[in-house]
Amino acid sequence: MNRPALSDAPDPLALAKEDHDTVLDLTQDLVRVPSRAGIDPYEPVIAALSTWMRDRGLAPHVLHDATGTPVAVTAEVAGALPGPRWVLDACLDTAPYGDEAAWTHPPTSGLLEGGWLWGRGSSDSKAAVATFCHIAAHLRRRADQLHGTLVLLFDLDEHTGGFGGAKRYFQGPDAPADVAGVMIGYPGDDHVVIGGRGVHRAQVHLHGVSSHSGGRKSTSNAIDKAADLIRELNATELPQPHSDFPLPGKVTVTAITAGQGFSVTPDLCTLNVDIRTTPAFDDSAAGELLAAAAERTDRAWPTTPPTRIDVHTRWPPYALLENSPLRAALLTAAHRQGLRPKPKIAGPSNIGNYLAGLGIPATAGFGAEYIGLHATDERIRTDALPAVQATYHSALLTLLTNGAA
């Protein structure tokens, strides 16, 4: 008996329009449950989402970190035919509210007004969670025709910067070895993010010599020494970008910690240095730049102990090639819906950089039209959601048709 082809499935846009009210309902339900990273308990939002998923035949599974803290909700739609694993990823935790009195509507209102759905997490990324759940529910009904597996991965540790859910899934003791690609539902429908600058982050500990600040004899002030290093870094010329990766590298001092009170000359100053890397200015070059600048500064301060550099984070730059199945499937699907997003290499790094370090291709942004990301009055435009849902659904039909990676 011949199975009907996935190409014969109902039109994704028609399905998305039928789903529109329930997508909004689920998004509202999730927005109304506070899930601020590191502030709110995650069990209530897990319960709200898990109930919806179970009612639609999706089997949610909660991942925990080594301390027992929940860090992600996952579910799988396993195809009957051989093929790789494709992941839809979105964060279920949110940024904090800021000044709640400044919001037009409360951050957990989930209010529908003027064509917008209001509330913290509406754009980043609870609308993506709701959309991806609906797509998975549709594909579950055609699992006998799927080549490979669709995975839902909803991270509860994204806004902390820890990405504990993603790390637990991709590098945990039961991590799958057959992930062909990840599509991350960050908001914004004008671009498909297909790459990003990498990051090399370090704490730089510069030493001086302590003394009484009012004493007759001055000693080497660690803050002054740090200021010299900052000038060194700001004066450094970075390599020009290549045409296939148009963004340059960047060096930014993001924090300075030193001193206490008024009467002691500081003998330690710590800088947080954030370096954005590119193929023309990679992680090795970033480390060498920082070490060389520190060495020059030490030579200019011969009476002080040497500077120590502790590297905090290393993520590589990445960019999906034009022939990447993931990039092609998502952009082609968007064009079918009448959308014209452009492929974009992002300045900020994202979880796609982390995945690139594991050799896993990822798109890191295509989703709801929004206002107020991480800001007051966060909201999404509701009438744009069906086209976004249809785009991801159509892309998955392409990727799951023959299992090609």
pLDDT band at 255; cut points 50, 70, 90: very high
Q: Which residue has the tokens 């506070």?
A: 34
pLDDT band at 293; cut points 50, 70, 90: very high
**Could you please report the per-residue DSSP string of 201-238?**
EEEEEEE---EETTSSS----HHHHHHHHHHHHHHPPP
- Burial code of 287-312, b = ≥16 C-beta within 10 A, e = fewer? bebbeebbeebbeebeebbebebeee
Residues 6+ apart with CB under 8 A from 101: none
Question: Which pLDDT score is estimated for 405?
Answer: 57
- Max distance between CA atoms of the chain, in angstroms, equals 96
Question: Which pLDDT score is estimated for 5?
Answer: 55
Q: Which residue has the tokens 């639609």?
A: 56
The percentage of the chain sitting over the pLDDT mark of 70, rounded to a whole number, equals 97
Say if strands 112-113 and 191-196 run parallel, antiparallel, or are unpaired: unpaired
Tokens of 331: 């952009």
Question: Which pLDDT score is estimated for 82?
Answer: 95
pLDDT band at 309; cut points 50, 70, 90: very high
Report which of 45, 95, 25 is spatially closest to residue 372, judged by C-alpha positions: 95
191-196: strand order across its sheet: 318-319, 191-196, 342-346
pLDDT tens-digit map of 321-375: 999 999 999 999 999 999 999 999 999 888 999 999 999 999 999 999 999 999 9
pLDDT band at 1; cut points 50, 70, 90: very low
pLDDT tens-digit map of 156-199: 999 998 899 999 999 999 999 999 999 999 999 999 999 999 99
Taking the C-alpha atoms of residue 317 and residue 218, their distance in angstroms, rounded to an integer, is: 45
Residues 6+ apart with CB under 8 A from 353: 196, 197, 198, 199, 315, 316, 317, 318
pLDDT band at 404; cut points 50, 70, 90: low
pTM value surpassing 0.95: no
Over the chain, what is the mean pLDDT? 95
Half-sphere exposure of 353 (CA within 13 A, CB side): 24
Taking the C-alpha atoms of residue 262 and residue 369, their distance in angstroms, rounded to an integer, is: 50
pLDDT band at 266; cut points 50, 70, 90: very high
